[in-house]
Chains A and B, each alone.
Chain A
Amino acid sequence: MGGKHYLPLTDEDRQEMLSTIGVKSIEDLFSDIPAEVRLQRELDLPPALSELEAVKHLNSLAAKNKHLNNCISFMGAGVYDHFIPSVIKHITGRSEFYTSYTPYQPEISQGVLQAIFEYQTMICQLTGMDVANASMYDGGTAVAEGAIMGCGATRRSKALVSQAVSPFYRAVLKNYFNSRGLPLEEIPLKDGKTDFAKLEEMIDDQVASVVLQQPNFFGLVEDFDGVADLVHNHKAALVVSVDPLSLPLLQAPADYGADIVVGEGQSLGVPPSFGGPLLGIMAARQSFVRQMPGRIAGETVDSEGNRGFVLTLQTREQHIRREKASSNICSNEALVALAAAVYMAAMGPQGMHEVAEQCLQKTAYARQKITALSGFEAAFSGHNFKEFAVKVPGKPEDINKKLLQKDILGGVDISPFYPELENTMLFAVTEKRTREEIDTLVQELEGWK
């Protein structure tokens, strides 16, 4: 039988236990399942594997994949190939953390609770917001819940979302709004950025949330001057999705008037894992805290006056409020938030700044080199943080195929999400890319026909 090493009961134990219960057989313990729904056969699953065989099987599956450790990656679009300090896996690998449940019993969960409290603090420090939660599932669900949070806070139902927000996030947002029957409209683009003149036309007193992204999906830094005033004049909430790793360089969202800050936190020391687990970030101004979804850790004292931490403001949450809760979220991405916290602690302000600046410099270098090639041109003008869109002289799929022969994972083909942008690729360049690697990419692209 498989998994015997995980099941400590012996046949002798089982017999003794049955007699303590006062039944004759195991079958008696399942007599409450009506015969008509009992499975009358054994499950048809492949034969059980020993640990040795299982590892071999999983290794063989993993070996069929290309990955960022055996390729040079220029893929981004929300998930990036950043340097991950070794300390992170040693901390998240401590089983006191990873084998615990949500910290409902605070006296034996101070480790997770304090780590969440510190994570919340660092997210607040990055964004300039007053309060952050313990995490959402990913960037997409964070954007959706952020927009819904704006509805709760303004008691309105409509959201406007910029087409410069990741199409992956907008897909989730659309689904969440459609399910609830809430209206959602898209703000068009102008040269790769949100068309704020259009926003001015579209915004009215029905709008609850205006959702933007900084840097936007194309890696462009948008000019948010005056946007918050426009949104606030209509008493709507400004929801901004950010890449936290851009914030050592870019203005804190609080400073340009954001009310709710969401985003994908994968760049903070989290492996890409084929797109999950990721880390949804959620922070807001103090006045929005009652509408905030998810877990929040707070400081308090114990019976002797010592500082300690608990989950707090739980009357927002499903296990207390049930159908009146601000969200249904329960299990979130706590261990990934821990990874992000360890990342920020290890990198410190200087390390994060250095990473952000290297992304900026290397992206500028790559952008200049690639767009200097004949047939390749920047899709948009403007300032790019760590990725940029390029109109290419061929099918992105074919270009990527050629690059792969040199073990290069090229840019993400974004034409399917923006039909008006034919043959356009989004290249991401992180601090991990060397000049040599960038030059190799440029060399391979050169002369493409």
Chain B
Amino acid sequence: MRKAKALLFEMGRSGRQGYSLPSCDVPEKPVDELLPKKMLRTEPLEIPELSEVEVIRHYTELSTRNFGVDTGFYPLGSCTMKYNPKVNEEVAALPGFACMHPCQPEHTVQGALELYYNMEQHLKELTGMERFTMQPSAGAHGELTGLMIIQAYHRNRDDHKRNKVLIPVTAHGTNPATVTMAGYEVVQIPSDDRGNVDLAALKEAVDDTTSALMLTNPSTLGLFEEEITEMARVVHDAGGLLYYDGANLNAIMGYARPGDMGFDVVHLNIHKTLSTPHGGGGPGSGPVGVKERLVPYLPVPLVGKKGDHFYFDYDLPESIGKVHSFYGNFGVVIKAYNYMRMMGAEGLKQASTDAVLNSNYLASLLKKTYYIPYDRIRKHEFVVSAKPEKKKGAGAGDIAKALLDRGFHPPTVYFPLIVDEALMTEPNDTESKETLDAYAQAMEDIAKDIDQDAEKVAAGPYHTVVGRLDEVRAVRNPILRWEKK
């Protein structure tokens, strides 16, 4: 029997408390002497009163109503939901990291600066870039930082007419949104029959108003852009720069580097490729790396080293400034650093090897039952089109719900936009062959169910803690907070 979970606000009782504090040991004065009377709060806080046990049980029950990588297979395309090593959580929580204040004097934070410095060296080697900033807090934040750097570069050369950024139709939604945020116009480039960026269309679109081309390689179709060198030449010849969206770097670690492909700016999603957890929607971290000619524009501070001493380097007169109040999501960078140290060069390359092998293997199992457009050797992900199933009465979204009933997190649905009824599937490096076989079997069973009773499939899921949720109603009649009745 399904049952809604009570809200915090429907629990507790006046007089309960879930904390203990020492009493105030300084001489006290009346509050209205210490604060201006007219700026005092007039109504008491409405927040509920709960005992510690109630708080723990509430959130523990909520956690059981949630699916994570530790729960099961999570092939969410372009999100690289790989296993999050437990030891990383432990080292990031060390008081010598987690309890540091960002304004502490430099000589009291030498370990943290050393970690940032080392991490920068590792990321440079991984990507073939000259320098990195760790300030961006997520991939999209990295994109914005990267475009700001590109913008500063053009502006500094008095090249003011470059007001357009080119992006392929397969790009993540954050790309065009970032372009607008940076004050640019989006020019969309179509794909060709093989799933590559249409080179002829790119050549047509590039001109002296092109600021940059933003590209994910391999693309969201899981395909490596075979003409990348020529694309880079075309954009560079026109005076534009190349931006690499690192969402899909998990496919090529140790095999190819964006820096060697001609990219000028790179962001990494270390909460994807480098194993740090997604936290239900962050915190992530999106370090940005640049080639030498763009180093002067990086956000301040960078971390430098003189002898054995590490220091904050604010000496970048052309810097774009800051994109974060402090130095980015340090707590996340620690986890990725530990991952890189434990994997080493060989381990990282093996991770990419297995990610690509798993993807090609699962695709070859699924294509017995499903239609997979752009069928060629792929990298870490592939896109199933459930267009034929949709015609029978159950599309990509319905297949996703049927997967929930079978204990799997579904792929990314309805994306990329150029594939109808898309199921963007990314089985990463930390999954076993048995898991992939079980998933393929589940997908085959769902296809059979659709053949037999598509309507039933379209009304699922049946075994989750709530049934299919009415998203339309949530938009038409928005209830965005609890209110006292």
17 further interface pairs, Cβ-Cβ under 8 Å (given A179-B151, A273-B330, A349-B49):
A14-B354, A14-B357, A38-B256, A39-B254, A45-B126, A101-B79, A108-B464, A110-B62, A111-B63, A134-B281, A139-B325, A172-B323, A179-B181, A277-B329, A330-B138, A330-B139, A331-B271
- Interface residue ranges of B1-36 to A (CB < 8 Å): 2-5, 7-9, 12, 16-19, 21-22, 24-29, 31, 34-36
Question: In the assembled complex, which residues on chain A have CB atoms less than 8 Å from the CB atom of B26?
Answer: 361-362, 365, 435, 438
In the complex, are the beta carbons of B100 and A49 less than 8 A apart? no
Cβ of B315 within 8 Å of any chain A Cβ, yes or no, is no
**B250 interface residue (CB < 8 Å to A):** no
Partner of B39, one of A26, A137, A223: A223
Query: Known: A99-B70, A110-B62. Contact between A20 and B364, CB under 8 A?
Result: yes
B52 within 8 A of A: yes
A346: chain B residues within 8 A (beta carbon): 18-19, 50, 52, 55
Choose one: A2, A62, A275; the contact of B327 (CB below 8 Å). A275
A140 at the interface (CB under 8 A from B): yes
In-complex Cβ contact of B108 among A4, A66, A348, A352 (8 A) = A66
Q: How far is the CA of A104 from the CA of B278 in the complex (A)?
A: 13
Q: Which A residues lie within 8 Å of B350 (CB)?
A: 1, 3, 7
For the complex formed, measure the closest distance between the CB of B254 and the CB atoms of chain A, giving whole angstroms.
5
- B122 neighbours in A (Cβ, 8 Å): 45
User: Is A13 at the interface (CB under 8 A from chain B)?
Assistant: yes
Residues B322 and A331 in contact, CB atoms below 8 Å apart: no
A67 and B223 contact, CB distance less than 8 A: no
Q: Are B471 and A172 in contact (CB under 8 A)?
A: no
**Which chain B positions have C-beta within 8 A of A295?**
281
Does A421 sit at the interface, judged by CB under 8 A?
A: no
A32 surroundings in chain B (CB, below 8 A): 223-224, 226, 376-377, 379
The CA-CA distance from A16 to B415 in the complex, in Å, is 31
Assess the A9–B101 pair: CB atoms within 8 A: no
Does B290 touch A at the CB level, under 8 Å? no
Does A449 count as interface, using CB distance less than 8 angstroms? no
Given contacts A99-B70, A345-B48, A75 and B101 within 8 Å (CB-CB): yes
Known: A298-B478, A302-B470, A349-B47. A330 touches B357 (CB 8 A): no
With A38-B255, A55-B87, A109-B66: A364-B34 Cβ-Cβ less than 8 Å: yes
Which 9 A-B pairs rank lowest in CB-CB distance, beginning with the nearest?
A275-B326, A62-B96, A48-B344, A111-B66, A275-B102, A335-B279, A64-B111, A334-B281, A99-B68
Closest to B69 in A: A99
Which of B142-150, B201-209, B387-395, B447-455 lies on the face that meets chain A? B142-150
Is A191 interfacial (CB-CB < 8 Å)?
Answer: no
Chain A to chain B contacts (Cβ below 8 Å), 30 pairs = A3-B343, A6-B82, A6-B85, A8-B431, A58-B94, A59-B91, A61-B114, A63-B96, A65-B108, A67-B100, A79-B102, A87-B18, A99-B71, A101-B280, A105-B404, A107-B466, A111-B63, A120-B480, A122-B47, A137-B282, A179-B144, A274-B97, A276-B326, A276-B329, A323-B176, A323-B180, A348-B12, A348-B16, A351-B17, A409-B101
Given A29-B360, A54-B91, A300-B470, A49 and B97 contact (CB-CB distance below 8 Å): no
Q: Which of A20, A223, A364 interacts with B361 by CB under 8 Å?
A: A20
**Chain B, 60-96, contact with A by CB distance < 8 Å: what is the 0/1 string?**
1011111111110010100101111101011101111
**A223 smallest CB distance to B (angstroms):** 6
Q: Determine whether the beta carbon of A175 is less than 8 Å from that of B29.
A: no
If the complex has contacts A32-B224, A166-B325, are A98 and B84 also in contact, measured as CB distance less than 8 A?
A: yes
Given contacts A61-B111, A67-B100, A364-B34, contact A276 B137 (CB under 8 A): yes
B289 interface residue, CB < 8 Å from A? no
Residues in B with CB closer than 8 Å to A59 are: 91, 94, 96
Residues of chain A within 8 A of B69, CB atoms compared: 95, 99-100
CB neighbours (8 Å) of B475 from chain A are: 298, 312-315
Given contacts A277-B137, A310-B474, A346-B18, contact A29 B111 (CB under 8 A): no
- Whether the pair B148, A345 counts as a contact (CB closer than 8 A) is no
